[in-house]
Each structure stands twice: as C-alpha cells, then as structure tokens.
Chain A
Amino acid sequence: MAAELLIRNGVVYDPINGVKGEKKDIFIRDGKIVESVSNPKVIDAEGRVIMPGGVDIHAHVAGGKVNSGRLMRPEDGRKGIEPKTKVCRVQSGYSVPNTFATGYRYARMGYTFVMEAAMPPLAARHTHEEMIDIPILDNAAMPLIDNNWMTLEYIKSGNTDLLAAYIAWMIKATKGYGVKVVNPGGTEAWAWGKNCNLHDTVPYFDVTPAEIVKGLAEATEKFEMPHSIHVHTNMLGHPGNFEVTTDTYDLVKGIKPYRDRPAMHATHTQFHAYGGTTWKDFESQATHITDYVNANDHVSIDIGSIVLGDTTTMTADGPMEYDLYQITGRKWTNCDVELETGSGITPFLYSGKSPVNTIQWAIGQELALLIKDPWKVALTTDHPNAGPFIGYPIIISMLMSKKRRDELAEDVHKVIFDRTVLPSIDREYDLYEIAIITRGMTAKTLGLAEHGKGHLGVGADADLAIYDMTPEERDAGKIQKAFLNTKYTIKAGEIVVKDGEVVAAPPGKTIFVTPECEQSLMDEMLVTLKDKFDKYYSVTFNNYPVQDAYLPNPYEIKAPMRG
C-alpha cells in the first residue's frame, strides 16, 4: 500500500464542501485527504465520476436478528455463493449475505461506512462480534432504547434528567452510536401479543408512544449527540398509517437540537406513507409526507425503497412481522428481549404483478423525487426489509432517469397510474444530488462529517469511489452498472476495489459515542437500574456492558451534557 496517493483527472462530487462536478486532483497521505503530496502512486481517473465513500445511514447487517435471518434461510444462502479467493473469504446469500459478502459488496458499490440500524442492547456483543467480521467498512450501531422498562417508567414519571442518565448509560454500555426508536411502546405490548398505536397506552406501563418519542427526543438533546433520535414510527406497513407518521413528526417540533441537524430522523418512510383503509383500497400517500417535509426542517427521512424480488424482512417491530406472517403463511421467527425490545423475521416477495407491491415500489421513489431539498433525504432500502442493499444502483438509475421509470412502469401493475403519482413526475436527480443522498446528507445527519466521513475536504478520511462512468452518462443501464462495481474504491487511503474486484480487505473501525452525564444523576439512575438487574434481568449488571475485546478498532466520539 502506497502511503501517498494522487488521483487526477476525476470529476469530483463533494456536496459537503460544495464541489459540484469539478475536475479536481485529490491528494492522500496516511489514510487522510491532504493538501499536497511529494512522491505518490498516481491513479488517472480519466474523466470518471468521483464521490466520497458512501455512508449508509440505515441497514440491518450485524446482530441477532440478521443472523437469525441467515440461519432461517439457507435457501437465501444458496444464492450469491462465491468461492474464496486469495483475498476474499467465501461469500453466500442475497438478502442476508454473510458478513464477508456484506463488506465486499458494499465496497464494490463504493460504500465505506454502514450504520447497523437496530441493536438489541442485551445482545449488543453479538452486533459487535459480527461487525468485526465485516471487512473494509467502518461501522456503528444504534441501540434500541424505546421499549425498555427504564425508559417507560421515566416517561411515566416525567423525569427527563434521569431518562438522560439512562440513555447515557445504555449508549456507553452497548458501545452504541445513538438512540434508536422502533414501534415505541408497541413492542413491549407485543410481549403480551398486543400492539400500540400512537396514542394508545402501553399495557401496565401506562404511557403512550407519543409520550415516549417526545421524552426520548428531549432527553437525547440534553447531550451534544452527533445524531438525533432515529425513529421507526408506529403502525408500520398498515394502510392509512400516513397520518400517524406526520403526527409523530409533530411531536418534536418544539425541541431544539444541539446542533444544525433535525430533531428526528424518520426512517424507511416508504413503509409509513400508506393511504387507503385496507389492502383493497390501498394507495400512496407519499405526497402527504413530502408536503410535510418540504414545509418543515425538524425532520429528515430515508426512503426505504422497494427492490422487487424476494427478500427477508426483519425489524424490532414484532407485531408487524407477525401480521406479515399471518398474511403470507411463510416461516416466521420472533424474539422478544426481556425488559428491552423484540424482533420478528419473515421472508417476503415484492412482485411487480401485485397491485399492493407496485404501489409500495412507487412510494419510495415518490418520496425522493417530491422532496425539494435533497439534504433532507437519504437513499436506503431498509436492507433487507424493502430489498437488499445490492439494489441501490437500481434505485439510483430510476431516480436519475425518467425514461427508465417509464419503461419499468410498463412492467409493473397498472394500478401505478391510479394510486400513485410517480408516472407524472418528470424530475431527474443529477449526480450531485445522488452524492447528497448517499453520502453528503447521511454523514451530516449522523454527525460524522466532522469525524472524516462523507466528504473529501482536507483532513477527511481518504474514503472514496471512482465510478466507471463520466458525468455525461444518461443511459440508466450504464449508470446502474457503474454504481454496482466501482473502477476503484479507496478506503483509508488503500485501494480495496479495482475494476470491480476486491483486491484488499483490511478491517474497518467501529465508531461509538460516549455521552457524559453528571455523576449524581447517574448514581440515582443506577439504583433503579441495578434493582431491575437483581430482580428481572436474567444476566448480572456487571456482565452486561460490552467489553473492550469486542472493539479491536475503536473510534470514540464524546458527547458531553449541554451547557
């Protein structure tokens, strides 16, 4: 590996630094972007498109439910089999790839960072063990803190300071990145086989999901947290849920975030933009969401766009997964986690022949195309729920090409013309906007830009992708191909992918946040927490926190309490 690298003749898209397709040299030394080099290895990009390494804001790639998905689906493992090579370990899987395939395939798409979307705290060690075995990518994981008994009790008593102490303890103990919220209240209700809508009371705990979301947002913003609460709103997947979605967004309207970012990141919004009342009159209500996001600045979204075909759904929204299994009758795994959260996993097929799936497929694209400011939007498929991450290039090509969207509209169910507005949208994303929704916005919203991610300014991590296309390329097929396998991917200044093949697989680092809380507050919270461990948990307090051995390459971000 050359310590110095010079990339010339590339056309650079670096939205965080306002670089909009400029022919620019890039200088790299010791894994960072620098101002100049003296004796570099030279890569001639020959007019190709260059972007910072992709930053995926939400994917399920490491941990208990991901591995349950793999274990449960050897028939998925059978797809995507690749033999080992001199550089690469064996690969398997399509919607639930093994950890090695995960790292290699993301890197081949030019991505260099992934956020594990939902880590059950009691099983945090598992998430970290798998992240160690994901090559190349830097990573982080968000612990679930919204159905936890401690959270529910502090919301009930209205004690935001103690809730803040609990959040701090949890993020530290799990070596996590921020506060993840999934079907708040509803997953605790599911432990008794029930569910909750936004204003229902959670059985026994007597709080509503609305109160939970608001309380967690307030408590989170007591710290200099890089990222806001990250929310999977209630009633996911139910026709007519669109109002619950924006009602949830309203809850944090008055909360002042610690920095220039929204007070809530709402995830896989496609699943939450459903109109109609049943599957029969089901329709897109993407416009309801996009009107809201266009008129407000306190919320950001990622689209959770469908990739047609077979996939594996997996979320901490246990009741939703049960409902899905009831519809399909297919195999179904559930795992409720004591005092904390739950999960459900079931395979699902999104078919262009199905009217419902067609509308779902259109919604993700509508969200991206109708929100005016791309800095509010991230590209995701909620991997693997709406589809595997390997489908990102398909979505990119659809957002960039009206022609392709029109061609594909002919292949799906004709209901797309009545129940969605997608066919009437002419807008096409340009490369700058694609760079925003795949690295600029995501790094900024996660608070990772100042830690070297998502841009190519001096001091940034030398993570970048050289795509095998020029900016003038308009052919959707060629665009899709280019975004699937890079000409080069560079990670921390090392060439890891060349001509679409993985040539090096160094380990990545795990980024975690350490919120710093006043000790007296922490001590008071710990009395209650330790009591829970004594009486109700099945593990001891001292055995709970994630040990250092699970983070061989740690990167810490401190989050002191706000003044």
Chain B
Amino acid sequence: MIGKEEKKMQTITLKLKDSVTSGSAQVPVEADVLTPDQLFGKSEAEIKAVKVWWGNKQENAGDLFDVSVSGDAGSADDVKIVFEGNLKRVKRIGAGMKAGEIEARGDVDMHVGAMMEGGRVVVKGNANCWAGGEMHGGELLIEGDAAANLCAMYRGEEKGMTGGKVTVNGSADELVGQYMAGGEILIKGNADRLAGLNMKGGKITIEGDADIPGADMTGGEITVKGTTEMMPSFKFVETAAVDGAEYKKYLGDFAMGERKAKGTLYVR
C-alpha cells in the first residue's frame, strides 16, 4: 500500500528436542531467559549459546532446542518467538516479558506469561498452573483450558494481577485471579471453585458456571453468565441490566465485615 512501510518482523523458532523428555524422568526446562526482549539483537549462534536451566545444570539453548531465525527486528516489539515440541515440560514461557510476541504451539507448563509487563503471548493449547501469575501488563490468550491459579498471586503476597488482559477460551481450574488488584480476565468456559478470591480490583467475566466466586472480596467486579454456586455471605442489592441481559447484583463479602464488603458480583 502506498505510504505504508513494510513492518520488520523477526521470527525465532525454538523446537524442544525429543531427547529432553524421552528419559525415565521428564525434568522441566525453564524458559524465562527466552523472551523477545532478552533475545532481541542476538544472532542465531548467540541464541544457541544462551544458558538455560534444565534441572540443576545450565545447558546451551541450542542443545535443548532446534533453533532457527528468520527476518530482522528493529526492536523487541518486532520479535516473535515460536515454541514447538513437547512444551508440557517447558516452564515460564514469556515470564517477565516486556515486549514482542510469543506463540506456544501446544500445551505449556507452569507460569506462562507470569509477571508479564507487555507484549502478547498465545498458547495454542492448555496452560498449566499460574498462567499469567502476578501479571502487570500485556496480553495472554490461552486457547485451551487453564489450570489452577490463573493470574493469581504467589505464596504470601497480598497483591496478584495488577494489569493486562487475559482470555481463556476453555475453562479454568480453581483460584482464578486470587488477590487481583487490576486488569481483566475473561473465561469463556467454566471457572472452578473460588474465582476472584480476595479480589480488590479489576474485572473477571465468566461465561460459563462458577463455584463460590468472590469469596473474601473487598473490591473489583465479577460477572457470571452461567450458573453460580453462591457464597452464603453476600447481600442481594438489586436486579441490573448488563449488556442487554438481566442480572442479580450482589455486594460482598460480608464475612469480611461491612466496611470491607465492597466487591460487586453479577449473577444470572
């Protein structure tokens, strides 16, 4: 098109070698060093030499993955990493990422997109626990299901996700968005027990069913479009219309006392 500059794009393909998971044990690989912002500017040879933890030893990325690079990048924003192979044993894909794109072709192990600050991660499969854990910004799409603790805080923290946008096309296991303080989560399927536990801010939408959502919430908003197993400590406020459909609006969680019960729950 006239006047439009050709966008630079670099694709780095990392295919996990079969030898990594073919033994009697499947020791996971930790991929936190393999993000667009950390690989940007590296040649193929340099990428192969990046040290990656596999159990208690650091190996060259080139010994764990078949590496190929095509195209050029002007900045980390232009870098796309494609992960292939048996990613069920690759943890921390996109963890802490600041820019660029990652596509994971298959089910992934824990902490995909955890503590992300920017950029976009797409999982073409299911994601294991803590996907999007303590996310700060950016976008995460999980085409399959998400295991427990989606976007939740890590042990002991009083604040979980603070920003960014997460979508799960399938269902999510328990504890979606625990201690959420900001950002948006959309679950197209069902959310198991205790979605939005300890929520203080942000927005969770569940298109399927939810089991005791919003427990101990003190802020934020949860909407459930399917059936809801209710907590016994929420107060009915009124019926409300949201996007043309009728919902019952509740305030909670009164188990925290009136002063703190500032969370909103919309159920059908």
- Chain A residues at the B interface, C-beta cutoff of 8 Å: 72-78, 329-331
Contacts and interface: CB of A to CB of B under 8 A. Distances in A.
8 contacts: A73-B156, A74-B155, A74-B156, A75-B156, A75-B157, A77-B156, A78-B154, A331-B158
Nearest to B157: A75
A93 to B, nearest CB: 12
Contact of B158 (A72, A77, A78, A330): A330
Nearest to B260: A329
A78 B133 CA distance: 15
Nearest to B155: A74
Contacts of A329: 260
A74 B155 CA distance: 6
Interface residues of B, number: 6
A329 B154 CA distance: 19
Q: Which of A73, A74, A75 gathers the greatest number of chain B CB atoms within 10 Å?
A: A75
A330 B156 CA distance: 11
Given A74-B154, A329-B260, 15 more contacts: A72-B156, A73-B156, A74-B155, A74-B156, A75-B154, A75-B155, A75-B156, A75-B157, A75-B158, A76-B156, A77-B156, A78-B154, A78-B156, A330-B158, A331-B158
A223 to B, nearest CB: 44
Q: Which of A72, A76, A77, A329 gathers the greatest number of chain B CB atoms within 10 Å?
A: A329
Interface string B204-216: 0000000000000
Contacts of A75: 154-158
A349 to B, nearest CB: 10
Which 9 A-B pairs have CB atoms at the shortest separation, nearest pair first?
A75-B156, A74-B156, A74-B155, A75-B157, A73-B156, A330-B158, A75-B155, A75-B154, A78-B154
Contacts of B155: 74-75
B160 to A, nearest CB: 11
Contacts of A72: 156
Nearest to B159: A75
Contacts of A74: 154-156
Contacts of B260: 329
B7 to A, nearest CB: 39
Contacts of A76: 156
Interface in B146-194: 154-158
A294 B158 CA distance: 44
A252 to B, nearest CB: 42
Nearest to A78: B154
B263 to A, nearest CB: 15
Contacts of A77: 156
A175 to B, nearest CB: 33
Contacts of B158: 75, 330-331
A477 B37 CA distance: 33
A151 B119 CA distance: 65
B215 to A, nearest CB: 16
Contacts of B157: 75
Contacts of B154: 74-75, 78
A310 to B, nearest CB: 10
Nearest to A71: B156
Nearest to A75: B156
A78 B154 CA distance: 10
